[in-house]
Every structure is written in structure tokens, then in C-alpha cells.
Amino acid sequence: MKTRTSILALAAVAATLGGALAPTTAAFAQAKEQFFPVLVYRTGVYAPNGVPFANGYVDYLKLVNARDGGINGIKITYEECETGYATDRGVECYERLKGKGPTGATLFHPLSTGITFALTDKSFVDKIPIVTAGYGRSDSVDGQVFKWNFPLGGTYWGAADMLIQHIGKKEGGLDKLKGKKIALVYNDSPYGKEPIALLQERVKMHGFELQLLPVTHPGIEQKATWLQVRQNRPDYVFLWGWGVMNSTSIKEAVAVGYPREKMYGVWWSGAEPDVRPAGDGAKGYNSLVFMAPAGKGRVHQDILKHLHDKGLGTGSKDEIGEVLYNRGLTAAMVSVEAVKRAQTKHGKKPLKGEEVQWGLENLAIDQKLIASLGFTGFADPLSTSCVDHEGGSVARVQHWDGSKWIVGADRYVADQQIIKPMIKASAGKYAQEKKLAPRDCAKELTAGK
């Protein structure tokens, strides 16, 4: 009895104090290494979508080391941290990884809008860029307020705008949208709520009717939502889901007999794990696709040759070339190119997050560079500046034919005349709430900074 109690007491003390002692910040020697933190979610409800993205991201980092010997000779090191899509764990991961490596974290891809919001506040103090390729805060395009945020290649406002343009085109003109009903089935989180502001702006312009149908996290239960769809019979349904919510929506659409051809998902609702569980029912479903559609190019051959053939690949061979895997690749490619760009200013040495910020802000990824990297067809040109942290956004619409994604030919560009004033207003409000003084881009440019 006595020993048992003392063992117990010891275990309790060890368990509680262990937390206080375990994380020690080790001192790193100044090695020629560039450290990339990798926030992932390989567990939890969003894992089916989190895993291929993470594998693509890590595979590209490995490839740069294996094929090129690092970024201009600077070896890439990385460490994964599991967030489970939870904001508090994401913040913990960020704190854990931000100081690692000889120069600290290069940049973060939070891969969750909730974590992005939380990290945005910290970026002003820590001076580490937050890259949110195709997600995050739409107003963070404004680099004058959001110095450290980079929603590269697209925002949700842009995405919603492109979808409206697409169905306007289908109907034979945006003016034909008058009197039409569009339902937005969205994940009831900052992610799903982002497009609403833009859609309401478009409602004012074209006079269609917008129905908002929120779905609670994680989105496995949607019966009530789709009953409303059945009752109201909207002309189009926009889907703003993630993970298991997407496939559930498609299954429910089948159940209530809503035509999949009239469903349009955002680019996070258009990957293989979203449609496959619905089987044949998913045939005809549409979604946006930005940067990288499914398929394989030269970079994939390199990954197979340098990594998977040598047993160094991260995930299974089958997922190479899937939508989310490719998006992970592109995200990593953009990050590496940002470091390369920053090296032209700061020299070929391990760079701090603050120095990488310059690279992200002066990105010049053109078709030539994309081709030389083997990404032809899997990335769009990006050119950022102090004022514009998005760097251009192009997307296409794809549909699922039952076994693969068929990408349409039309390319859409968001209407900046609508979005710009919204960004300015929203960013201005943020700066005011936070008592931030916006940067003066013109001044910085002339100062040569």
C-alpha cells in the first residue's frame, strides 16, 4: 500500500512537472541550414485532406535537398508539428518551432484559417511571415497593414467572385443573375464565413438572392441543411467545406436529389478525398482549382526518381499527382523561391524570417521560372509588392467525371474593382482596432528598403 502510494505520488509529480522541464531550447551551432516549420494535421476529422497536403509539402523540401543540395547550398531542415486543426495546439506548435534552426523559422503555413487569425497577431512581434496560399484573411492582401501575411495566389473573396463570374457566364451575362437563388453551404467557422461579405456585395450589384446555410464543425451532420436546399431549390449551391464536410455535402445532395452539376465548391472543396467517398454520386460536381490541378509533370518525375525510388518518399506513391498533394508541392515551391529571392538581397546564408519577408514581398515567379522548376501547368505566375501581398490570382473551374478531375479552359480573375475597396476598409478597421500605424509603401520603396 505504502509503496503504491509513493509510486503514484511520484508519477503524479513527474507527470505534472514533466511538462515544465521537457521543452528546453537547445543552443544551435551556426550551421548552414534553413529551418522550415511544418504545421500539419495527420489526425482528426480533417486528416484525409491534411495528409496529402503535408506529404506534398515535405516531399518538395526533401527534393530540394536531394536534387539541388539545398537552396543555393543552404540545406533545408524541417520539423513537423501536429495541430489537429485546433487553434490552441496550433499556437503551441508555432511557439515551439519559431525559434528552431540557426536563424529561427523561415515562414509558417498555418493551414487553418483559425490558426492564421491567431498567428497574425503574433507576427507583428515575432517578425515571421505567415503564408496562406489560397486561404486565411482576405483583407491581409493589404501589405501596408498586414506586413507579415501573404495570402499568395488567392483569397476567399477572390474565389467567391470568380464563382459568380463563372455562373454569370453560364447564364449568358451577369445581369441574368437577377432573381436567381444562390445558396452558400459553408463551414461555420471564419473559413466558411469569409466569402459572405463579397457575395453580399455582388447581391447588391446583380440582385440575386443569397441563402446562407451554415454547417457546424466538423460537418458530418447536414440533414437539416439539405432539407432546406430541397425546400428552396436554389439555382446554384456554393460549397465552402473542408475535409469530411465536402463528401458529406455531396452525399446529401444525392439524397435530396439536388443536381451535382449545379454545385460549385471553393478550391478546398475540390480534391479527390472530397468526391471519392460519394462514389458515382459525385459525377458532375464542380469546383474551383487554383495553382495546381491534379496530374503529373516534371517535378513529379523528379520526386519519384530522387525520393520514392530510394525509399525516401513521405507518403504513399499513389497520392502523388492528386490535387492536395500538388497544392502542398506548390506551397513549398513558393516558400523556397521566396528564400531564394531573399538571398539575392541578404546573401547566400541562413536567413531570418524578417529577411524572408522581403523575398515574399518581392516575389517574381514567371512562366520561365515555373518551367525551369518543372512546374509547368502546376503553378501560376506570382508577383508581389509591398501593397499587394496576393501576387495575382487566377483560377479555373473543374468537374469530376466519376474517376478524375476535368479542368475547364476558362481562366477567371477576381474583379479587383469590387475587392480592393473591401480590402481597404477591412484592413483599415483592423489597423484601427489594433492601434497599428500602416506602413508607407512609397516611402519604403524610395528608401530602397
Partner 1 sequence: MFYRENGQFKSSYREDQQLLGIRQDRWFIFALIAFAFLAVPYLASDYMFRAILIPFLIVSLAAIGLNLLVGYCGQISLGHAAFMSVGAYAAYNLVVHFPQLNFIVVLVLAGFISALIGTVFGLPSLQIKGLYLGVATLAAQFFIDWVFARVKWFTNYSPSGSVSTAQIDMLGWTVNTPVEKYLMVLAIVIVFALMAKNLVRGHIGRSWMAMRDMDVAAEVIGIRPVHAKLSAFAVSAFYAGVAGALWGFVHLGSWEPAAFSINFSLNLLFMIIIGGMGSILGSFIGAAFIVLLPITLNQVLPVMGRWVGMNFSTAFASHLEFMIFGALIIFFLVVEPLGLARLWSIGKEKLRLWPFPH
- For partner 1, the binding residues (CB under 8 A) are 2, 4-5, 8-9, 12, 15-16, 18-20, 22-23, 25, 40, 42-43, 47, 51, 80-82, 84, 87-88, 91-92, 95-96, 99, 113-114, 117-118, 120-122, 125, 137-138, 188-191, 193-194, 196-197, 214, 217, 426, 430, 433-435
CB of 268 to partner 1, least distance (A): 15
Q: Which is nearer to partner 1, 296 or 424 (CB)?
A: 424
Greatest CA separation found in the chain?
83
CB of 319 to partner 1, least distance (A): 14
CB of 5 to partner 1, least distance (A): 6
- The whole-angstrom separation of Cα 268 and Cα 240 is 8
CB of 419 to partner 1, least distance (A): 12
- The whole-angstrom separation of Cα 128 and Cα 149 is 9
Q: Which is nearer to partner 1, 119 or 303 (CB)?
A: 119
Q: Which is nearer to partner 1, 121 or 410 (CB)?
A: 121
CB of 81 to partner 1, least distance (A): 7
One-letter amino acid identity for 408?
G
Number of Cβ within 10 Å of residue 16's Cβ equals 9
Peptide bond before residue 48 is cis, with ω within 30 degrees of 0? no
Which helix (H) or strand (E) segment holds residue 290: the answer is strand 286-290
Which helix (H) or strand (E) segment holds residue 383: the answer is strand 382-383
Q: Which is nearer to partner 1, 157 or 400 (CB)?
A: 157
Interacting residues of 361 by C-beta distance below 8 A, sequence separation 6+: 143, 150, 384, 385, 386, 389
Q: Which is nearer to partner 1, 92 or 354 (CB)?
A: 92
Q: Which is nearer to partner 1, 223 or 233 (CB)?
A: 223
CB of 190 to partner 1, least distance (A): 4
Q: Which is nearer to partner 1, 404 or 429 (CB)?
A: 429
Number of Cβ within 10 Å of residue 257's Cβ equals 9
The CA–CA distances, whole Å, from 394 to 52, 134, 278, 291 equal: 23, 11, 28, 8
Which helix (H) or strand (E) segment holds residue 414: the answer is none
Q: Which is nearer to partner 1, 145 or 289 (CB)?
A: 145
Burial label for 443, CB within 10 Å (0-12, 13-18, 19+), is exposed
- The whole-angstrom separation of Cα 234 and Cα 254 is 15
